[in-house]
Structure 1
């Protein structure tokens, strides 16, 4: 009986620890256009989906952690469905998102705010 209680207590701590270890990029973000984007884990990466606005429901990116507060992957402009090399830099409750074409010669950046 005592061993069973110890096992259940250990399992509860492990589950609580897993929740506490969520990556800082996960969550809901307000884009510069005013839409809400949600970033969630998906298959070893982080998927970015618009939740509100004109393009609600559209997946607009997939990022992987690049160490520290840096992320890299692909980002799609929901207005024209063009996909670019993307990067993200997290700083507190701000996420600077960028996408580039032509090997980084032409880039667009936005800063999102955590909701």
Structure 2
């Protein structure tokens, strides 16, 4: 009986985790018009282009920083340069920022698809 309860509880927690996906996950339209997919991967989020000239290219990895903010690395697919990155989620908008030395930054505003 105890084993059945334990198995039921474990299955419930697994299903609840799937249903409570992080709001950053999904498909986002970038400023260039390409679609970027953000998917969970072992405690962080991988960003992969799913359309456009650089389709299939992984362009970033972010970790949650709390309150709709994320920190990590972002790569410019045109020149393969990687920058420190920040993302801020606000409803169906995602402000993606890449910085060099935390001084020179560029921000794109992505829209949820």
Q: Please, what TM-score do these two structures have when normalized by structure 1?
A: 0.88
Partner residue in 1 for 2:111: 113
- 1:44-75, CA deviations, whole angstroms, 9 ceiling, x for partnerless residues? 21000000000000000000000110000000
- 1:6-38, CA deviations, whole angstroms, 9 ceiling, x for partnerless residues? 677655533331122211111110101110000
Q: Structure 1 unaligned runs (5+)?
A: none
Partner residue in 1 for 2:92: 93
Shift of residue 100, structure 1, vs aligned partner: 0.5
Partner residue in 1 for 2:39: 40
Q: Structure 2 unaligned runs (5+)?
A: none
| Aligned CA-pair RMSD | 1.8
Q: Which structure has the bigger radius of gyration?
A: 1
Shift of residue 76, structure 1, vs aligned partner: 0.1
**What stretches of structure 1 move > 3 A for 4+ residues in a row?**
2-13
- 1:79-106, CA deviations, whole angstroms, 9 ceiling, x for partnerless residues? 00000000000000000000000x2221
